[in-house]
Amino acid sequence: MRIDLMAGASLSAAALRSAAEPTILVFDSGLGGLTVLDAVRRARPDARYIYVGDDAAFPYGRLGEAALVARVLTVMERLVATHRPDLVVIACNTASTLVLPALRQRFTTPFVGVVPPIKPAAEATRSRLVSLLATPGTVARSYTRDLIATYAGACTVTLVGSRNLAGYAEAELAGVPVDDVALAAEIAPCFVTEADGRRTDVVCLACTHYPLLLPRLERLAPWPVAWIDPAPAIARRVVQLIGPVPREADQPGSTHGAFTSGTCLTDPLRTALAARGIGEVAIEAIPLPLQ
């Protein structure tokens, strides 16, 4: 199987670089992709961004594989037709570890995926005890297992499938704080001590929602670890494909938000989105069909 870490596109980089004021669509099941949007926007502040959260289907972690592939293809069909992006970032590990081949087959638009940062984790660890914190879907993927076999053969990787953490991150941004005990319980299995005294020193944040909670995770960790967030690497991959800010660019870009149901849009969330430069938020209703 092809392991393609910041899975780029088959389209030639030179063709993409010619796109002035590129339109970049950043997509997630909900709000987690905001962590990737922030990093990409720092790298290409001149671009035009559309952030889409498929909140009608959140959380993706609970969907079966066939249902998730079908859902992402359906939503992307609409989004690509409406927004005509130059590049799409699938800012969701749960989707990227499964759906990228089908997306690349269906669309000519280049897709950049976010997949668990196993390689940098294996390079960073000293104790060789690494934990991968992700949704149950990402943990179960053969793609994830293949990444571990390819890049972390010398490490013991503890897979932690969290049922609630993505929802907690959504709740926090929507103005409903989650208590420390609940958060600590979600991350506790990441912290492993071996009989020889070695303990986990690196945790992969393999769900884009989790960096939204990072300051609290750091505070609640039983001991300090390196938390690996793949977002900066994704931003570098996007720049590789579309090029750096052109010298002639003198206008800041723009960011628009859209959600497929909008039920997540509380006032505190609108305020949080505005603070991230997403003042304008639309509903592009794409209901989840009953399974």
Q: How far is the CB of 141 from ligand DGL (least distance, A)?
A: 10
Q: How far is the CB of 162 from ligand DGL (least distance, A)?
A: 9
Among 25, 28, 53, 111, the residue binding ligand DGL under the rule CB under 6 A is 28
φ, ψ (nearest 5 deg) of residue 159:
-90, 120
> Annotation-wise, does 138 bind a ligand?
no
For ligand DGL, the closer of residues 46 and 170 by Cβ is: 170
Q: How far apart are CA 243 and CA 205, in angstroms?
A: 27
For ligand DGL, the closer of residues 51 and 60 by Cβ is: 60
> Annotation-wise, does 93 bind a ligand?
yes
Q: How far is the CB of 85 from ligand DGL (least distance, A)?
A: 19
Q: Are 114 and 92 in contact (CB under 8 A)?
A: yes
> Annotation-wise, does 256 bind a ligand?
no
Among 131, 138, 200, 260, the residue binding ligand DGL under the rule CB under 6 A is 138
> Annotation-wise, does 94 bind a ligand?
yes
Structural tokens at position 285: 């209703």
Task: Name the residue among 124, 100, 109 with its Cα closest to residue 15.
Answer: 109
For ligand DGL, the closer of residues 50 and 72 by Cβ is: 72
207 is catalytic: yes
For ligand DGL, the closer of residues 46 and 284 by Cβ is: 284
In the beta sheet, which residues pair with residue 287? none
Max distance between CA atoms of the chain, in angstroms, equals 59
Q: How far apart are CA 233 and CA 120, in angstroms?
A: 10
116 by DSSP, 3-state: which? coil
Confirm or reject binding of residue 162 to ligand DGL (CB under 6 A).
Answer: no
Q: How far apart are CA 199 and CA 193, in angstroms?
A: 4
Q: Are 88 and 109 in contact (CB under 8 A)?
A: yes
Total chain residues near ligand DGL (CB under 6 A): 17
Q: How far is the CB of 129 from ligand DGL (least distance, A)?
A: 23
> Annotation-wise, does 209 bind a ligand?
yes
In the beta sheet, which residues pair with residue 255? 49
Among the listed ranges 44-52, 56-64, 71-79, 224-232, the one in contact with ligand DGL (CB under 6 A) is 56-64
For the segment 65-124, give every residue that binds ligand DGL (CB under 6 A): 92-94
Among 29, 125, 127, 260, the residue binding ligand DGL under the rule CB under 6 A is 29
Other beta carbons less than 10 A from residue 52's beta carbon: 27
Residue ranges of the alpha helices (H) in the chain? 13-17, 34-43, 65-83, 93-106, 118-124, 136-140, 142-151, 165-173, 180-187, 214-220, 231-242, 267-275
Amino acid in the structure at residue 12:
S
Query: Which of 155, 190, 204, 207 is the catalytic position?
Result: 207
Active site residues: 92, 207
Q: By CB under 6 A, name the binding residues for ligand DGL.
A: 28-30, 32, 58-61, 92-94, 135, 138, 166, 207-209
